[in-house]
Amino acid sequence: MGTATALDGPDALSARELYRFFRAGDEETLALRGVSLSVQRGETVAVVGPSGSGKSTLLACLAGLDEPAGGVVHVGGERLSHRPEALRAQIRARRIGILLQSGNLIAHLNVTANIRLARRAARGTGPADVGVLLDQVGIEGRARALPQELSGGELARAGLAVALANDPDVLLADEPTGELDGATERDILRLLRGRAQSGRGVLIVTHSREAVKIADRVIALHDGRIQQ
Ligand code: ADP
Ligand code: MG
């Protein structure tokens, strides 16, 4: 019998044999053709691959935003795939943080209201400590700012605060640093990596060398398959 640690228990995230097809008229795109992966607690995984290789489709399936045609996704040991959409949304709100290149905030709500909204979606008990979250991501002075009043770097940091609002088991990021300057990119990556080191799982879809450098493991997608 081993000593229990925070790293015991199910993987932060696991996907087995994911398939996803898109059909438009006679055209069929095989976006995912049997993708299996896992992210351990404490681990940062980078997913790389050329444009069109299935990265965003994979991320959408891992987040429960999309349903794979075949295969299964578990998050924190709980099955996410092949569930009614409302239940997927609940599980996602509680267990998954999502960070995109842009569009992470609701435009007409200030930073604090965006974080509170994310909290409510997960039925988070009590108000999130917005001050602590904003301090963590380095924009403690911007709690009342609207998205349009934020710089690109501040927007990325605010998006990360929203993604972390419910202290998720897994953080999924799709090209999170694609539009950032080098210094901000390094800072965001440091925060993502720190997140993993505190015992959560982090998966970053990326083209960035810097992001690949901080990953514990790199998965390369090509034509909807993992390249060995
Ligand atoms: P990546 O993020 O690696 O650039 P995507 O996952 O966006 O790749 O796309 C993978 C493939 O699936 C591409 O050929 C893309 O054109 C196709 N695809 C993605 N989403 C859709 C969709 N909603 N309808 C039709 N085809 C799609
Ligand atoms: Mg993409």
Distance of CA 83 from the midpoint of ligand 2 (Å): 24
Q: Give the per-residue pLDDT at 169.
A: 94
Q: Is residue 53 in contact with ligand 1, taking CB distance under 6 Å?
A: yes
Overall pTM > 0.85: yes
b (16+ CB within 10 A) / e for 114-153: bbbebbeebebeeebebeebbebbbbeebbebbbeebeeb
**Is the CB of residue 90 below 6 angstroms from any atom belonging to ligand 1?**
no
Question: Which CATH class for the 13-227 domain?
Answer: alpha beta
92 touches 80 (CB < 8 A): yes
Residues of the chain scoring pLDDT < 70: 1-8, 125-128
Angstrom distances, CA of residue 83 to CA of 13, 89, 106: 16, 10, 26
Strands 170-174 vs 201-205: parallel, antiparallel or unpaired = parallel
Per-residue pLDDT at 8: 64
38 contact partners, CB below 8 Å, separation of at least 6:
11, 13, 14, 15
Query: Within 9-74, where are the H helices?
Result: 55-62
The pLDDT value recorded for residue 126 is 63
- By most ligand atoms within 8 Å of CB, the mutation choice from 22, 48, 175, 204 for ligand 1 is 22
**pLDDT score, position 125:** 65
